[in-house]
Amino acid sequence: MEFEELGIREECGVFGCIASGLWPTELDVPHVITLGLVGLQHRGQESAGIVTSDGESAHSFKLHKGMGLVNHVFSEDSLKKLYISNLGIGHTRYSTSGVSVLDNCQPFVVETLHGKIAVAHNGELTNAARLRRKLMRHGVGLSTSSDSELITQLLAFTPPFENDDTPDWVARIKNLMNETPTSYSLLMMHKDIIYAVRDPYGNRPLCIGRLVPVGDISGKGKTNAETEGWVVSSESCSFLSIGAEYYREVMPGEIVKISRYDVQTLDVVPRPAGDPSAFCIFEYVYFARPDSIFEGQMVYSVRRRCGQQLAIEAPVEADLVSTVPESATPAALGYAQKCGLPYIEVLCKNRYVGRTFIQPNMRLRQLGVAKKFGVLSDNFRGKRVVLIDDSIVRGNTISPIIKLLRESGAKEVHVRVASPPIRFPCYMGINIPTKEELIANKPEFHDLANYIGADSVVYLSVEGLVSSVQESIKAKQDNENNLKSNKFRNSSISAKRFFTLPPTEPFLKGIMPGIESSTFCLQKHVFCHRSMPPSL
């Protein structure tokens, strides 16, 4: 919950759709993309955009984007402007790189010698400043502060190995991936093709779905039903509502070509030898919707296992278990199940406050805390409550909630946190506060229970989080006899950073001199818990 209130946010979500079979299609591509973006609304609420094409001409793009939620940006009239279309890509944004203004809305569209290209991007380039300088030295102007415009211009600018009349977009994409190792999952549309690309470390999610006739939807990935089209999304949670079945993930470093005919892997850009993949573990902890699938497992199941592990690590004498709604609910259910206590709601959430009105502005975030919850005092008056939260970031959100519970009759309030303490910022597409703002780095952290007014506070250990995330993955690979000896190590943090950041980047020198990097290899996942000084 504190992620939501205090500014730890995913940057955005991307979604694409292409119709199969004969064109012009009967598939309502603009509406499919709109519904897909609604399914990704939790990943960004500041702006949204869609670009479509008939696929017959490299110049036939139709674009609409604006500030606000998807349903506010796209009306029936605005969607009519996106017809007639056979393919398109869309985006919903929360700003981490670049300010929240219309100019930074995605997708970005540029004209090239070979027609228009459109790009939608989730993530944040770790070497954006150097790449901006490179383009400007070559006379390429940039009109926004968005990394996504930078990617679009780099793809258009990169000298390709090609004939003038046959653009080699794969070569351009590979060049981009070699120029910047992280962090991005992106969609690029050119004429009648959508390219789906994930950075070599797999830091941000991306998956593919198959549109099937409504009567054939099973959710089990059947391959014998007619394919009406293909979709690609930051999360699989957007598939069911549009009549799509989960097909597969885009793998780290993979360049996928999605056409009206099929889905093809064109290339895989490798990581440096010895570097593990680095999927952001907070997709599991908070960012993703619980019904999404990553690495073959449902996010909800991972969160429930985190709660079960937390009950093993931090039991307490109590009468009931509850949650700070809503992302911590699976963990609370897991905790209650493991310790044999009843799960009872103590807070009710005002669903019309929160994500809809929370913007990356401190004053608005602080105002949201007081009006977000009601108290179900009859459920806990005179009782000892275990309150499960997904995080404690600054510590000034959980405190008023505990005060509400005590004033409403709670005898004791024991806080259990379903993730380890966050100690460092992130520069890879998540708006995590500065190191100084994080409660884990303040003197108050040593007496956190007293500081927030709780009877006790315990975080899930790093090892507990690792085991909760990897339990299902490891079991599945064991069953398939494909477990690689170097893929899963013991449950300790590797001392090896998963990539070396250039010493000239502004967040290491200049803007934030002397700052430590948060990007560490936690097994095969990135976690903002421990850090080492950057390799300069």
Q: Is 306 a catalytic residue?
A: no
Selection from 230, 229, 176 nearest residue 198 by Cα: 176
The pairing of beta strand 229-233 with beta strand 279-280: unpaired
Non-local CB neighbours of 81 within 8 Å, separated by 6+ positions: 62, 64
Q: Is 216 annotated as a binding residue?
A: no
Selection from 252, 201, 285, 180 nearest residue 528 by Cα: 285
221: left (phi over 0), alpha (psi -120 to 50) or beta: left
In whole angstroms, what is the distance from residue 209 CA to residue 20 CA? 13
Q: Is 262 annotated as a binding residue?
A: no
Q: Is 389 annotated as a binding residue?
A: yes
Residues 520, 427 contacting (CB under 8 angstroms):
no
What does the angle CA 49 – CA 367 – CA 410 come to, to the nearest 5 degrees? 120
Selection from 288, 283, 280, 286 nearest residue 238 by Cα: 288
In whole angstroms, what is the distance from residue 536 CA to residue 529 CA? 21
Q: Sign of the C-alpha dihedral, residues 413, 418, 421, 427?
A: negative
Q: Is the peptide bond before 183 cis (omega within 30 degrees of 0)?
A: yes
Catalytic annotation, residues = 12
Query: Which residues make up each annotated binding site for Mg(2+)?
Result: 327, 389-390
